[in-house]
């Protein structure tokens, strides 16, 4: 048995850490360096940086953040978002990342995983999978899938979970379980598995999803999305997760609530606006879909680790 | 022991990510030289061979640039030489990663792969990715326990040592007396640190192992 890792996830937009719900709507929380430093000191085992705008612009900004963080934070950092080529990987590693996570470009061109693993070693190539439960009532969406299936050769119609790309914005028709097997054969060193449905909800991990992927994977699977209270960590580890990643539960513990509707944020204090600041604001602030407030019970990294330790989960403490 | 000087030469031979090793060394105020120049390497105060990736590629890249001989020549000076992860493995006689490949043979022994899990109840995966514990070696096997940590790269540690590992292969020593620490993973107990005179190998990544990892690098400076 290996030690289970706890990996805080920082979703980054421009200069800020943001947190949304189901990959939409962003609450601006503070600066990534401030969070990263705090999490490092508190005993995080690794950090995961997710660029939310897929680096279509502001790439240099992200690289600066990574670089400044890596100077002070002596634990492994994985960077995800907008990585499309071997050259991109090199640039991100050079900036200070230890690993890169690839989603969109890997699905569009699976051989990128193979080439990247060969060039940089499997140990630094993580494949990120954004899984969403299939909604069989909206089959209409499937009409655009051809370009993905050509490269993947997987039947799109049957699996329970579908891989999404572009930070939870685009369905692909690709079956998550099949894809998870394929990426390991191509040389992925780890799988970072998140759930578009559970992201930010605090409802708990999608146990069925994690368990199916993790128990059929030869490489470690990092489970993400849904941690809302301490018990959720134990539950997902018991069901096969090799490492656990979480955002809101930690972010909200270390942030202070402020009354503000800022669209951006530029001070060192970590904060938690009452309103969600950007993205699909109406959807989030006014309750469409029922998610109109934070449903997590914030916890520190220490509390999570102590709880796991007492529950006889092997961790670094 | 006080730090004698703070110069470290890091060998750049194209294997993986040197940036974080360099950054970690700079954070403890080292003068870091990253180079593939043979005469610089031979004349170094202390030498660090980092590296991630496959053994075969690593030894080939060293040989293509004649760095293998430079490292061997440096080793004869008796100055401190540290190999990290693949760097440690390259010090060995040979490796069975993707066929048998000869290494630098500075330390007698071989590099082998973790055994696969026995069955579904064995819940570990290969590679090992994550934190694990360093323990003094079994006294029965090397006759020393942790007594010989005193003047080694593991000196002055008083509590449980967690380090960050990332590997599928590990070293098996011919002479277990040079083993400084052991680590258990899956079904295998393996040597996670060795030190023979001033030739040191660490299977984990001290540069990514928090404050304790930095302390190992500081110890390297004071050897």
| Statement: residue B131 has pLDDT above 50 | yes
Single pTM value for the model = 0.88
In degrees rounded to 5, what are phi and psi of residue B202? -125, 125
Q: What is the pLDDT of residues B204-218, one digit of tens each?
A: 999 999 999 999 999
pLDDT at position A118: 84
- Residue in the structure block whose two tokens are 């997710």: A50
Collapsing DSSP states into helix, strand and coil, what is residue B201? strand
Which residue among B123, B126, B131 sits closest to A316, beta carbon to beta carbon?
B131
State whether B17 and A124 contact (CB < 8 Å). yes
Within 101-140 of B, beta carbons closer than 8 Å to A belong to 123-132
Is position B18 within any domain? yes
Domain ranges of chain A: 5-126+178-310
State mean pLDDT over B84-94: 96
State the pLDDT confidence band at B156, using cuts at 50, 70 and 90: confident
Partner B contacted by A26 (CB < 8 A): no
Burial code of A87-118, b = ≥16 C-beta within 10 A, e = fewer? Answer: ebbebbbebbbbbbbbbbbbbeebebbbbbbe
Pairs of CB atoms within 8 A across A/B: 87
Q: How far apart are CA B126 and CA A264, in angstroms?
A: 43
**pLDDT higher than threshold 70 for residue B146:** no
User: What residues contact B156, with CB distance under 8 A and at least 6 apart?
Assistant: B215, B219
Does B130 have pLDDT greater than 60? yes
- Kindly identify which residue of chain A lies nearest to residue B16, measuring between CA atoms: A120
In B, minimum Cα distance to A1 occurs at B124
Helices (H) and strands (E) in chain A, counts: 12, 14
| Chain B residues closer than 8 Å to A213 by CB | none
Residues of chain A with pLDDT under 70: 1, 25, 54-60, 135-158, 257-294
Q: Which residues pair with A68 in a beta bridge?
A: none
pLDDT in tens, A188-244: 999 999 999 888 888 899 999 999 999 999 999 999 999 999 999 999 999 999 999
Domain that holds residue B149: 7-221
pLDDT score at A281: 52
**Both structure tokens of B209:** 């192992």
pLDDT confidence of residue A146: 47
Q: Indicate which of B129, B133, B212, B218 best probes the interface with A, i.e. most A CBs within 10 Å of its own CB.
A: B129
Number of separate domains in chain B: 1
Cβ atoms within 10 Å, residue A307: 17
For residues B128 and B114, give the distance between their C-alpha atoms in angstroms, rounded to a whole number: 9
Q: What is the interface pTM, i.e. ipTM, of the complex?
A: 0.88
CB contact under 8 A, A45 and B131: yes
- Nearest to A315, CA basis, from A306, A253, A214: A306
**3-state SS, residue A32:** helix
Looking at the complex, report in whole angstroms how far the Cα of residue B95 sits from the nearest Cα belonging to chain A.
17
CA of B207: which chain A residue's CA is closest? A74
Give the pLDDT confidence score for residue A273 in this predicted structure. Answer: 53
Query: What is residue B175's predicted lDDT score, i.e. its pLDDT?
Result: 94
Bridge partner list, A245: A7
pLDDT for A190: 96
Look at residue B2 and tell me whether its pLDDT is greater than 80. no
| Rounded Cα–Cα distance for residues A106 and B77 (Å) | 48
How far, in Å, CA of A220 to CA of A238, rounded? 14
Residue B19 sits at the chain A interface (C-beta within 8 Å): yes
Work out the mean pLDDT of chain B and round it to a whole number: 90
**Cβ–Cβ contact B5 with A under 8 A:** no
| Residues of A labelled as active-site residues | 11, 130
What is A5-126+178-310's CATH topology?
TIM Barrel (3.20.20)
Q: Is the pLDDT of residue B20 over 90?
A: no
Measured between alpha carbons, how far is A237 from A299 in angstroms, rounded to an integer?
17
Q: Give the whole-angstrom CA distance, residue A56 versus residue A131.
A: 22
Give the one of A74, A121, A220 whose C-beta lies nearest to B214's C-beta: A74
Of A70, A123, A220, the CB nearest to B23: A70
Q: What is the DSSP string of A212-245?
A: HHHTT-SS-EEE-S---SHHHHHHHHHTT-SEEE
* A74 contacts B27? CB cut-off 8 A: yes
What CATH number does the domain containing B189 carry? 3.40.50.880
Two tokens, residue A133 = 């439960």
Six token digits for residue A99:
């690993």
Alpha-carbon span A193 to A214, nearest angstrom? 9
Selecting from B23, B131, B185 the residue whose C-beta is nearest the C-beta of A96 gives: B23
Q: Name which of A121, A222, A301 to mutate to probe chain B: the one with the most chain B Cβ atoms within 10 A of its Cβ.
A: A121
Q: Does A1 touch chain B (CB under 8 A)?
A: yes
- Res B128 pLDDT > 50: yes
Q: Does A70 touch chain B (CB under 8 A)?
A: yes
Cβ atoms B123, B138 nearer than 8 A: no
């Amino acid at each position: 048995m290996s030690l289970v890792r706890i990996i805080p996830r920082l979703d980054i937009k421009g200069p800020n850490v943001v947190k949304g719900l189901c990959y939409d709507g962003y609450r601006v929380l503070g600066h990534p360096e401030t969070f990263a430093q705090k999490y490092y000191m508190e005993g995080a085992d690794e950090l995961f940086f997710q660029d939310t705008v897929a680096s279509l612009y502001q790439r240099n900004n992200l690289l600066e953040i990574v670089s400044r963080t890596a100077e002070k934070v002596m634990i492994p950092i994985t960077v995800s978002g907008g990585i499309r080529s071997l050259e991109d990987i090199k640039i991100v590693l050079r900036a200070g990342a230890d690993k890169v996570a690839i989603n969109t470009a890997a699905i569009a061109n699976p051989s990128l995983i193979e080439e990247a693993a060969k060039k940089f070693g499997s140990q630094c190539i993580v494949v990120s999978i954004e899984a969403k439960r299939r909604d069989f009532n909206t089959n209409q969406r499937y009409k655009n899938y051809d370009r993905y299936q050509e490269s993947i050769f997987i039947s799109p119609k049957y699996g329970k979970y579908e891989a999404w790309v572009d930070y939870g914005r685009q369905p692909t028709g690709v079956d998550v379980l099949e894809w998870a097997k394929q990426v390991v054969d191509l040389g992925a060193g780890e799988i970072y598995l998140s759930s578009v449905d559970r992201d930010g909800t605090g409802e708990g991990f999608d146990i069925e999803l994690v368990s199916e992927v993790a128990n059929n994977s030869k490489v470690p699977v990092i489970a993400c999305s849904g941690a809302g209270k301490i018990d959720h960590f134990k539950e997902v580890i018991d069901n096969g997760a090799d490492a656990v990643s979480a955002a809101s539960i930690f972010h909200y513990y270390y942030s202070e609530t402020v009354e503000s509707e800022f669209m951006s944020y530029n001070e060192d204090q970590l904060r938690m606006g009452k309103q969600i600041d950007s993205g699909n604001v109406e959807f989030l602030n006014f309750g469409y879909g029922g998610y109109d407030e934070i449903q997590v019970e914030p916890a520190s990294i220490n509390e999570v680790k102590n709880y796991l330790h007492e529950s006889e989960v092997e961790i670094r403490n | 022991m006080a730090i004698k000087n703070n110069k470290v030469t890091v060998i750049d031979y194209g294997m993986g990510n040197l940036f974080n090793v360099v950054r970690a060394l700079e954070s403890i105020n080292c003068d870091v030289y990253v180079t593939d120049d043979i005469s610089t390497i031979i004349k170094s105060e202390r030498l660090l061979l980092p590296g991630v990736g496959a053994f075969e590629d690593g030894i080939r890249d060293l040989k293509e640039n004649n760095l293998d001989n430079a490292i061997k020549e440096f080793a004869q000076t008796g100055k401190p030489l540290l190999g990290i992860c693949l760097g440690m493995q390259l010090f060995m006689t040979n490796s069975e990663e993707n066929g048998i490949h000869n290494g630098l043979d500075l330390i007698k022994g071989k590099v082998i792969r973790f055994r696969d899990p026995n069955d579904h109840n064995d819940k570990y995966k290969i590679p090992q990715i994550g934190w694990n514990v360093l323990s003094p070696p079994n006294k029965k096997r090397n006759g020393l326990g942790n007594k010989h940590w005193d003047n080694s790269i593991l000196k002055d540690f008083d509590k449980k040592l967690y380090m960050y590992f990332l590997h599928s292969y590990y070293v098996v020593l011919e002479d277990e007396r040079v083993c400084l620490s052991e680590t258990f993973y899956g079904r295998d107990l393996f040597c996670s640190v060795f030190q023979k005179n001033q030739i040191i190998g660490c299977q984990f990544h001290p540069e990514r192992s928090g404050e304790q990892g930095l302390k190992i690098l500081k110890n390297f400076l004071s050897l």
